[in-house]
Amino acid sequence: MKKFVVGNWKMNGTTTGVQEYAQGLIQILPAASCEIGIAVPSLYLPQLSARLGATSVAVVAQDVSQFKGPGAYTGEISAQMLKDAGCTHVLIGHSERRHVFAEDDLVLVGKIACAVDAGLVPIICIGEELHIRQQGRYLEELARQLAVIERTRDLLPATVWVAYEPVWAIGTGLVASTAQISEAHAFLADKLRELLPKSKTARLLYGGSVKGSNAAEILALPGVDGVLVGSASLTVSELGAIIAGTKVALPA
Ligand code: PGA
């Protein structure tokens, strides 16, 4: 199965930037041997999907409302609207949403339900904070965060995407070691096998300071089905280096 490289622009970008980026991406696509998804701010999603609609690149939303709507929810963007804008996937529970915007399990369950209902594939993000890792309680914490998947397991599509992103590795330049990634992914794969119905399979992305120079090593790890990339996804050249890393990871 092909690896999945998802770029998350966060709150970055301009109209001109999206245009240039899409153009650059189209040029490197023929050489790519992985699936690619790009998450731009909501405002730019229709523009990105107009540029990339004819390609295999998935247009990914960074967030979605927990409310189905339509309705009186000022500032919110519904799953149906994201679908209408050309999105196929949506990030849910990114650590910045959990920590800066205080999203809890109840909110996340609502978001997953709305996303699936609109036909969007959720990419559910989980990860432990530094103090939890230092206290040695990280596996327990990851298991706790899987509760949102347990509560929505009957709704989820046949392929359940989960991104493991240790909070201490996001935007810090600190990458989890290959041993730490392998341990977390093996643990999550086991737990997800237990809690998902037999008809569903979990696929796991790693995220946290992934860049061109470390992507191949991470992508080669068993149990790593792809990467979720923040700052290094902002330029096509760096994203291209990560995409090239998926080739190294493929068996000969
Ligand atoms: P980063 O962000 O690659 O900049 O560490 C990862 C993420 O937030 O998904």
* Residue 17 C-beta-side C-alpha neighbours within 13 Å: 14
Whole-number Å distance, alpha carbon 12 to ligand 1 midpoint, is 13
Instruction: Give the whole-angstrom CA distance, residue 231 versus residue 39.
Output: 12
Stretch (H or E) spanning 202 = strand 201-207
Q: What DSSP string describes 147-158?
A: HHHHHHTTTS-S
- Cα 217 from chain centroid (whole Å): 19
Identify the CATH number of the domain in which residue 132 sits: 3.20.20.70
**Domain region containing 136:** 4-249
Both tokens of 166, joined, read: 């240790």
**Full-model pTM:** 0.96
Nearest ligand 1 atom to alpha carbon 232: 3
CB 61 within 8 A of CB 10: no
Tally of domains within the chain: 1
Q: Which long-range contacts (CB under 8 A, 24 or more apart) does 23-28 make?
A: 23/51, 24/236, 24/237, 25/52, 25/55, 25/57, 25/236, 25/239, 26/51, 26/52, 26/55, 27/236, 28/236, 28/240, 28/243
For the segment 207-219, what is each residue's pLDDT rounded down to a tens digit?
999 999 999 999 9
Which atom of ligand 1 is closest in space to residue 228's alpha carbon?
9
User: How far is the centre of ligand 1, averaged over its atoms, from the C-alpha of 229 (Å)?
Assistant: 5
Is residue 247 classed exposed, middle or buried when 0-12, 13-18 and 19+ CB atoms within 10 A define those classes? middle
Confidence (pLDDT) at 252: 45
* Ligand 1 centroid – CA 206 distance (Å): 10
Per the CB < 8 A criterion, the answer to whether 149 and 182 are in contact is: no
pLDDT per 10-residue tile (average), the chain, 252 residues: 97 98 96 96 98 96 97 98 98 96 97 98 97 96 97 96 96 91 98 97 97 96 97 98 84 50
- For the stretch 110-139, pLDDT in tens is 999 999 999 999 999 999 999 999 999 999
Q: How high is the pLDDT of residue 251?
A: 55
